[in-house]
């Protein structure tokens, strides 16, 4: 006998889980989290959580500390898993096998896997981007190739069920894109209006010439060496 189709009130809750780990960049997680929180306010059936290895305050790369709402064990099968990035702590986390295993296990049970900024390097280090197109912060985007991914210079990149965003504020764009995919463009436009996301930066658009010229390459290499001094094999792989 065929089971009846669940009514909207009975439909399974779709959980959007953001990963929290020490030292990340707050806007990487808070920007897209706010977008999905607004989706949950507008459309029944969506909720947003923050998962970490343990429920305790975790420092960021600002004076702000953040606390997960759940552990990975509490949320083994989220509908979507989003991994934020950062600088030295995120680069160091590429060698954190415990975190990488949490990502592998949870991602295998998620319908959508995403990242913001250098969070894509954690997905890549976990072996989740091999053979896929992906993006990251411009300073470390090319490192994706060392893990078998194809780096792409775009605001966000979708390859199958995996979606990666470029640096920091691009996470808001990625989240709005996913809201449009999940709930339709009308809802996504409503969320964009509610959070008043209409960028008009005071100094105009970014001039990419300095980044493209390699002017910041020595700085990027220094941060990578600072982060992976205790993981010489990985550092050598990424520096060769």
Reply yes or no on whether 117 is catalytic: yes
Burial 39-52 (b: 16+ CB within 10 A, else e): bbeebebbbbbbbb
Q: How many residues does the chain have?
A: 240
Torsion, Cα 68 49 107 226, to 10 degrees, reads -40
Relative orientation angle of helices 232-239 and 217-227, to the nearest 10 degrees: 160
Catalytic residue among 117, 162, 178, 179: 117
| 1-to-4, 92 alpha-carbon distances in Å | 9, 53
- Which residues participate in catalysis according to the annotation? 117
């Amino acid at each position: 006998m065929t089971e009846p189709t669940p009514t909207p009130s009975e439909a399974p809750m779709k959980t959007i889980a953001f990963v929290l780990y020490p030292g990340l960049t707050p806007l990487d997680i808070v920007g897209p989290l706010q977008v999905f929180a607004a989706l949950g306010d507008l459309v029944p059936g969506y909720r947003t959580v923050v998962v970490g290895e343990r429920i305790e305050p975790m420092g960021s790369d600002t004076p702000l500390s953040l606390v997960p709402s759940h552990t990975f064990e509490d949320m083994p099968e989220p509908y979507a898993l989003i991994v934020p990035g950062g600088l030295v702590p995120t680069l160091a986390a590429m060698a954190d096998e415990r975190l990488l295993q949490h990502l592998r296990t949870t991602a295998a049970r998620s319908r959508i896997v995403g990242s913001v900024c250098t969070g894509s390097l954690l997905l890549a280090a976990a072996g989740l981007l091999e053979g896929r197109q992906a993006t990251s912060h411009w300073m470390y985007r090319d490192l994706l190739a060392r893990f078998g991914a194809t780096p792409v210079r775009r605001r966000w990149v979708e390859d199958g069920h995996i979606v990666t965003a470029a640096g920091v504020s691009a996470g808001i764009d990625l989240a709005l894109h996913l809201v449009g995919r999940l709930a339709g463009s009308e809802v996504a436009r409503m969320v964009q209006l509610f959070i008043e996301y209409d960028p008009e930066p005071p100094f105009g658009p970014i001039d990419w010439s300095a980044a493209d010229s390699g002017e910041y390459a020595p700085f990027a290499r220094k941060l990578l060496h600072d982060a992976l001094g205790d993981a010489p094999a990985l550092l050598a792989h990424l520096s060769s």
